[in-house]
Amino acid sequence: MRAGEAGTGSQVPVFPQVGDHLALDLLNTEAWSHGTVVDGWASDRDVLQWLVQQGIAGARAKAPRDLLTHARGMRSAIREAISARKAGRPVPVDALNGYLQACPTTLRMERGQAGALLLDREAHGDAVATMLGPVAEAAARLLVEDDFSLVRQCEHPDCILWFYDRTKSHRRRWCSMARCGNRQKAARFRKRSGAE
């Protein structure tokens, strides 16, 4: 789950981009490895790196204190809500609403290229709420507006990653073909070969 950054020798998180949805990629910051769940976030900087990777924070942004604590709490709340919805249980909304309410925003008009008017959102929360607000909003939209039948968890027994099935046939089964699809096919082949 971690790889060295070229030229620095330091460790930076490597996050799988297989969710095809911001909220699901958030859940995928935890993965199954050798029989245990591994958290890709060990520091405020790790969370910031993920936010940069998602295009939410700029490359020069600084990680505010307690970003890790709040991000893990939000991830847990989103995981609980998505799992409940997939299981057909009532979705707990209070925790996620807390993250949504912590980041008030207003619309702002701007002039774009060639003078065209554009609308943008301006956040008025503290630094942590401002960074996590777009993720909380994406999760809320996924739970309320998106086709939830397309939210799936990888079928490989050793994987806990989630994805939004945007394939034309809507028959996607694995987080990625390279990661779990091929492992599953190889396991089936070995089983058939051993039985003959």
Can you give the pLDDT of all 196 residues of the chain as single tens digits? 443 333 333 454 567 788 999 999 999 999 888 889 999 999 999 999 999 999 999 989 999 999 999 999 999 999 999 999 999 999 999 999 999 999 888 888 999 888 899 888 888 889 999 999 999 999 999 999 999 999 999 998 888 999 999 999 999 998 887 778 666 666 665 666 665 5
Cβ atoms < 10 Å from Cβ of 143? 19
Express each pLDDT in 25-80 by its tens digit: 999 999 888 889 999 999 999 999 999 999 999 989 999 999 999 999 999 999 99
The one-character DSSP state at 177 is I
* Token pair listed for 57: 């924070």
- C-alpha of 70 from chain center: 15
Query: How far apart are alpha carbons 196 and 179 in whole angstroms?
Result: 27
Given this model, what pLDDT does residue 112 score?
Answer: 85
Given this model, what pLDDT does residue 7 score?
Answer: 34
97 — phi, psi (to 5°)?
-60, -35
Given this model, what pLDDT does residue 68 score?
Answer: 98
**If phi over 0 gives left and psi between -120 and 50 gives alpha, with beta otherwise, what is residue 112?**
beta
Given this model, what pLDDT does residue 5 score?
Answer: 34
